[in-house]
Amino acid sequence: MNQKLPYYPYSDYLKKKYGEKVYKLPVNLPVGCPNRLKGNGCAFCAEKGTGFESMNCRIPVREQLQKTRQKIEAKYHVHKFIAYFQNYTNTFLPLHDFCAYIGEAAKVPDIVELAVSTRPDCISRDYLEALAERGRQPGLQITLELGLQTSNYHTLARMNRGHTLAEFIDAVLAIRSYDFEICAHVILNLPGDDLADTIETAKILSALGIRTVKAHSLYLAKGTALGEAYKRGEFDVCTREEYLERLAVFLDYLDPEIAVERLFSRVPSEESVFCNWGTSWWKLRDELLEYMKDNGNYQGRKFCYLNGAALKTAGISDEWEA
């Protein structure tokens, strides 16, 4: 863990993995989401998905990567990159198209990893085999990013996610059989969730051996079902103080070997009716660090619940060892 931070930052994880700074380059493909076929999809999902920083999906993959690389390389002086297929459900593409897109990205110089964002209910052997074939290319790693959002299956149903916790577990087990790495996305302050759900989500991710996690603070995009409900006064978003507490406790229970890629959402204000309590994400991060320092929180502080924890607590396992 970073000695200056009370959690394991993704940047440190990448430096350890690749020996230098690595930066993600978003790629936007012409793909939708199966959850939108029956209606408007997830209650919090915007019409354009989450690719606020991405280029037009009609621009060729190589061109998207090269143009974004030029900006990032000049600004941050990095020379290795991750092609991040970010928006919507990338494994909802026809298999032939999916293979063509990832193949194009794999040919771009200095791409060391393909990160594919998708849904837990859109993981199948055919797509994993296609990724495995690309992963055999020397110097190219594979990561799957899965949106769990919460371990509370009641909340998942209310948010119209179209899957439950079972599908997430099923997807993780399938991916792990290929030895790919997994990044989980969670929202720690969905309406109806509480601190107990936050703790359970951290414990499930830890038990499943997730490699990285993105924690998003709930933002309400314009035109979404949840955004409209918020404007009608049908629910309140938790206070920023409560979110900071949840985030700190989430980290307490999270396996210290899990890298933390994100703590707060980053959305253009013009795209939302609510985001981060009207505060910048970096100011919120400073407040989180202060809160954790004052309250003694740090990642893994309460990571003591796996591998027969009750036996250890009772001293029974020690008797067997003796």
Report the range of poorest mean pLDDT among 43-57, 90-104, 223-237, 238-252: 43-57
Q: Are the CB atoms for 156 and 164 separated by under 8 Å?
A: yes
pLDDT of residue 242: 98
pLDDT tens for 14-33 read 999 999 999 999 999 999 88
Residue 319 in this model has a pLDDT that exceeds 80? no
**Taking residues 216-221, what's their average pLDDT?**
94
pLDDT at 312: 81
| pTM exceeding 0.75 | yes
108-132 average pLDDT score: 97
Q: Give the rounded percent of residues in the chain with a pLDDT score beyond 70.
A: 94
Least confident among 138-142, 219-223, 293-297? 219-223
Three-state DSSP string of the chain: CCCCCCCCEHHHHHHHHHCCCEEEEEECCCCCCHHHCCCCCCCCCCCCCCCCCCCCCCCCHHHHHHHHHHHHHHHHCCCEEEEEECCCCHHHCCHHHHHHHHHHHHCCCCEEEEEEEECHHHCCHHHHHHHHHHHCCCCCEEEEEEEEECCCHHHHHHCCCCCCHHHHHHHHHHHHCCCCEEEEEEECCCCCCCHHHHHHHHHHHHHCCCCEEEEECCCEECCCHHHHHHHCCCCCCCCHHHHHHHHHHHHHHCCCCCEEEECCCCCCHHHEEECHHHCCHHHHHHHHHHHHHHHCCCCCCCCCCCCCHHHHHHCHHHHHHC
- Report residue 55's pLDDT band, with 50, 70 and 90 as the boundaries: confident
Q: Please say if the pLDDT value at position 286 is more than 80.
A: yes
Mean pLDDT of the region 218-234: 94
Q: Which tens digit of pLDDT belongs to each residue from 243-259?
A: 999 999 999 999 999 99
Of the candidates 27, 25, 105, the residue with the CA atom closest to the CA atom of residue 70: 25
The pLDDT of residue 322 is 47
% of the chain beyond a pLDDT of 90 = 82
**Taking 60 as the threshold, does the pLDDT of residue 49 lie above it?**
no
Give the model confidence (pLDDT) of 176-196 as tens digits: 999 899 999 999 999 999 999
Buried b (16+ CB within 10 A) or exposed e, 294-314: eeebbbbbbbeeeeeeeeeee
Task: Give the pLDDT score at 209.
Answer: 97
